[in-house]
């Protein structure tokens, strides 16, 4: 009997979401507490074509299948592996990443499936091949995906994504990212469309938005590397203002950002696609991170997670 396995994890964007779709850099952090594991079982009865039975994660399948991401991915895997003869592959996925919260569920799901199927067929895909397969599924789900999620869900360290390449971020303080789920699903695809529409009508606004986000992102890398935690936090809050102005935040998330700042966070912002979803708050120690998480939950966040910036994620 042969079974392949694959896994991936969630991610949050620290800075640069949306602007990254227009060529600006983005910073992303793996979230070890959010996981997807997939197994691909090729041992069941032989049939006359290579088929894939799809995973029993009802809503992930709904999101991906409705938009064609999963069937497309499976067609690509079938081509890539060109398994001769007859085979029936049963792929099962367990996913603890809530959907539609900007936490990378769709990319992590695709990555776990790609790795499980490759493992089943005993093929080693290099990082670029895995990225291409995941990115192809993402482009369908997100409309126009920059590629940052497809990289971040497979990285064990915080990354800079710029010009299509990834680099490890240097972190000079014991930062903790608190992630809070507003409980309201955002729609990355709709958010990307909304912004594209506004940019088409207001090209000067596009240039200003992308430039301002980009300069915060580059400057924040120096703050992160040199341990200027306060300055880094302030840039996050500035970026929240830019995303809010762009119409991508919600009143509830604006309120939660205030709650986090009052609880001692150095900075806070909405993260990912927006129009709902999650916010992040950054602290420079674990104690304040606990307080911030607790206050956010008291204020209505349905769930919180923590991602230490300096720990390598075993994922």
Token duo for residue 220? 């924040």
Q: How many Cα atoms within 13 Å fall on the side-chain side of residue 243?
A: 35
Token duo for residue 8? 């991936």
Token duo for residue 65? 């299948």
Token duo for residue 70? 């999963």
Q: Which is nearer to ligand MEV, 67 or 231 (CB)?
A: 67
**91: helix, strand or coil:** strand
Under the binding rule (CB under 6 A), the answer on residue 269 touching ligand MEV is: no
Under the binding rule (CB under 6 A), the answer on residue 37 touching ligand MEV is: no
**What's the min distance (Å) between Cβ of 82 and ligand MEV?**
30
- For ligand MEV, the binding residue among 8, 20, 29, 136 (CB under 6 A) is 20
Q: How far apart are CA 43 and CA 54, in angstroms?
A: 15
Rg over alpha carbons for the chain, rounded to the nearest Å, is: 20
Q: Which is nearer to ligand MEV, 21 or 221 (CB)?
A: 21
Under the binding rule (CB under 6 A), the answer on residue 189 touching ligand MEV is: no
Under the binding rule (CB under 6 A), the answer on residue 13 touching ligand MEV is: yes
Q: How far apart are CA 160 and CA 221, in angstroms?
A: 9
Under the binding rule (CB under 6 A), the answer on residue 273 touching ligand MEV is: yes
Q: How far apart are CA 153 and CA 134, in angstroms?
A: 10
Q: Which is nearer to ligand MEV, 6 or 147 (CB)?
A: 147
Q: Which stretch binds ligand MEV (CB under 6 A): 11-19, 162-170, 257-265, 288-296?
A: 11-19
Q: How far apart are CA 75 and CA 37, in angstroms?
A: 21
Q: Which is nearer to ligand MEV, 135 or 304 (CB)?
A: 135
Under the binding rule (CB under 6 A), the answer on residue 216 touching ligand MEV is: no
Under the binding rule (CB under 6 A), the answer on residue 17 touching ligand MEV is: yes
Under the binding rule (CB under 6 A), the answer on residue 146 touching ligand MEV is: yes
- For ligand MEV, the binding residue among 8, 14, 21, 171 (CB under 6 A) is 21
Q: Would you say 186 and 248 are in contact if contact means Cβ atoms under 8 Å apart?
A: no
Under the binding rule (CB under 6 A), the answer on residue 145 touching ligand MEV is: yes
Q: Residue 225 contacts by C-beta under 8 Å, 6 or more apart in sequence?
A: 169, 170, 171, 172
**127: helix, strand or coil:** helix
Token duo for residue 229? 């935690």
Q: Which stretch binds ligand MEV (CB under 6 A): 10-18, 48-56, 258-266, 285-293?
A: 10-18
Cα 4 to Cα 7, 39, 48, 240, 287: the distances in Å are: 11, 6, 21, 41, 40
- For ligand MEV, the binding residue among 10, 30, 32, 102 (CB under 6 A) is 102
**What's the min distance (Å) between Cβ of 103 and ligand MEV?**
8
- Among 43, 53, 54, smallest CA distance to 120 is for 43
Under the binding rule (CB under 6 A), the answer on residue 272 touching ligand MEV is: yes
Q: Which stretch binds ligand MEV (CB under 6 A): 15-23, 80-88, 164-172, 251-259?
A: 15-23
**What's the min distance (Å) between Cβ of 276 and ligand MEV?**
13
Residue 149 carries which DSSP code? H
Under the binding rule (CB under 6 A), the answer on residue 149 touching ligand MEV is: yes
Using CB under 6 A, which residues numbered 190 to 209 contact ligand MEV? 192
Under the binding rule (CB under 6 A), the answer on residue 18 touching ligand MEV is: yes
Inter-axis angle of helices 69-81 and 127-142, to 10 degrees? 150
- Summarize as ranges the residues that interact with ligand MEV (CB under 6 A): 13, 17-18, 20-21, 102, 142, 145-146, 148-149, 188, 192, 272-273
């Amino acid at each position: 009997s042969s079974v392949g396995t694959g896994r991936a994890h969630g991610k949050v964007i620290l800075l640069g979401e949306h602007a990254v779709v227009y060529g600006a850099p983005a910073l992303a952090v793996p979230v070890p507490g959010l996981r997807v594991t997939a197994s691909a079982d090729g041992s069941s009865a032989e049939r006359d074509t290579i088929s894939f039975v799809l995973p029993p994660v009802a809503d992930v399948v709904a999101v991906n299948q409705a938009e064609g991401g999963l069937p497309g991915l499976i067609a690509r895997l079938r081509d890539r592996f060109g398994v001769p003869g007859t085979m029936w592959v049963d792929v099962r996925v367990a996913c603890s990443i809530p959907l539609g919260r900007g936490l990378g569920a769709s990319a992590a799901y695709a990555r776990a499936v790609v790795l499980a199927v490759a493992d089943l067929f005993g093929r080693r895909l290099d990082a670029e091949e895995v990225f291409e397969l995941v990115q192809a599924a993402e482009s369908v789900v997100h409309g126009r995906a920059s590629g940052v999620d497809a990289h971040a869900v497979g990285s064990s360290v915080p990354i800079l994504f710029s010009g299509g390449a990834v680099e490890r971020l240097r972190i000079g303080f014991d930062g903790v990212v608190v992630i809070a789920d507003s409980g309201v699903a955002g729609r990355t695809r709709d958010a990307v469309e909304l912004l594209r529409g506004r940019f088409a009508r207001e090209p000067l606004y596009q240039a200003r938005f992308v430039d301002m986000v980009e300069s915060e992102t580059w400057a924040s890398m120096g703050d992160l590397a040199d341990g200027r935690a306060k300055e880094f936090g302030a840039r996050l809050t500035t970026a929240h203002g830019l995303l809010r102005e762009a119409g991508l935040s919600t009143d509830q998330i604006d309120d939660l950002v205030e709650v986090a700042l009052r609880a001692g966070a150095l900075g806070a912002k909405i993260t990912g696609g927006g129009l709902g979803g999650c916010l992040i708050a950054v602290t420079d120690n674990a104690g304040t991170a606990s307080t911030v998480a607790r206050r956010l939950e008291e204020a209505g966040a349905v769930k919180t997670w923590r991602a230490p910036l300096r720990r390598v994620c075993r994922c």
